[in-house]
Structure 1
Amino acid sequence: AQSSARPGRWVAAPPGVALGALLTRQRQELEQAELASALLAEEYRAEASEPAVHDLVEVVTGAAAVARRLHQVRLGAASEVCALVTGKPVAVTGTEEGSEERAASRGVVHRVVVEREVLSLPSGILELSAALGRDERCRVVDRVPTKLVIADGTTAMVPLTGRGAEPAALVVHASGLLESLTGLFEAVWREALPLRLGAGGCGVREEGVGPDATDLEILSLLLAGLTDASVAKQLELGLRTVQRRVKGLMELTGVSTRLQLGWHAYERGWVARSGPQAVTGTTATPGTTATAPRTLAAPGAAVTPSAPPAAPPSAQVAGVR
């Protein structure tokens, strides 16, 4: 600093006074740099937490590449493979390179819905017979919207190109799109009919796997308000037999509750829609008229009547005596 006693001469000043302003300015600049660095780090973390598009969807092109990727998807399944199979010969096939057999040998559950057209293909019955022989659960429907394979609910594969183009497919990982594809499969599965093959190798549709006379009697009594134990006593069956048959009806209709079973029984005509006439081929249980459909009781529980929307005023339970 300049000396006040001797103009034109410089003398030493206290460091705290001389450097204080400089240190304050540099400290402010450092704080601003730290703030900018923190903002950049936050933006980086936000970007890193959002998966890139290629991490959610893969595009696979070429017949060999599609077949290889499908093979990997199937073999990578640990618990379940769900598939929709069309009758059109596209790259994403229902059986590829023996991957189904390998997955089934590891205990992987297979649920497959095939178009009815598949049954008319030269190798259709043979492949379905092999699938049923591996204890795969197969159902049939008039038409499926697209060919689809889902492994463990975490990876899906669908065809990408149409007829005449180079085979290509999308591999979809965990995302909203995968959830939509899973929902599509479950909707088709619920509407499809269980498939079994007769001795002649023909696909047996609903008439072959629908409720038999005993099933209709059980359903009739449950809809009338009887408990499982009462039904078993009335029909001289074991309690477990009654419960097993009810479970079979639930699997047949693709439902998880007895309330849903009651509604599907009405929709499928197991409970007559109107008037005293029962389902074709059966007769109404004598003296059994209910507001349809009633809620099927849980084992050992009573029943509370529950009418579906837009149901007719009354419907008679179909049964065989």
Structure 2
Amino acid sequence: MPRRDAGPVPCLLDLALLHPDPDDMDWLVPTSPQEVMTRLLRGLYDEVSASQRRVGSAVTAFEWYADLGQRRLAPAAAEGTSIRVLDGLARIQAAMDEATQACTTEVLTVQPGGIRREHELSEGLHRALALRGRGVRMRDLYTHVARHGQGLLNYLELMGDAVEARTLDEVIDRLILFDRTVAFVPANTDRTMALELRHPALVEYLVTVFERLWRLALPLTAPLPDTGIEGISHRERSIAALLAEGHQDAVIAERLGISVRTCRAHIARLSETLGAASRTQLGVRIAQTGLDALPGSSAPVGAPGGRGTPTAR
């Protein structure tokens, strides 16, 4: 049914009897019986956490009904749970908490953006501490800019050797993988919706993406490689390569996790260092000095005399 038609009957969404269609989020589709039972049980658990006896009875009832529903489901309906749309921050949080409780070995995350704010780090701190307490290993990927945030450094110090962090010039959008069996990715730009992925092929693909980025990344404690060009920092080299690709300032800032103002300040320093009086001339100088190749790229470097050697990572 169209999403707008559910407005007069909010309980259909509140009880998760309907959920957004992954292929078209303007439409709602029925939720499988065992998934509805799971949600109702979670709410019941929160309300009666003081009564272990009642919770135990509810779990027993849930298992019986879930098994019954599973036998009656058509195969196609059962497969639909491999991609689940989580609509709203509360549902995303609940699903993440559930995955955290089930996790036993490993969590992989990609955290885009720049310096991590305190509230962003504290949001998932309870999950991270619970994972550390069970001996779960965590690996996190950030942008290089995140190195400058004291909050991240404090978080890593608190977590100790349970967390290993590395950084790149730019990373993909947010990704969280639990035990290589379930993944969470944003479903819209403001991250008020997410996709919970349990399809083995999709999860394996995302694990492969993470592992390849991880091999390219630098440990958080390792210094950034020198550009080989006097007066040009590693970040300015990254900006130069993205300028050479034709990206606008706002796009470059977003990809590198910095503000537009900071990005433009770096561009101004690049122009001054390379002696460029205009954006067009800056593009020419970037190509001449070999800065049009991203750090770590094997692309050929430009003219003699001003060339820099890209550093493999």
TM-score by length of 2: 0.43
Q: Which structure has the greater CA radius of gyration?
A: 1
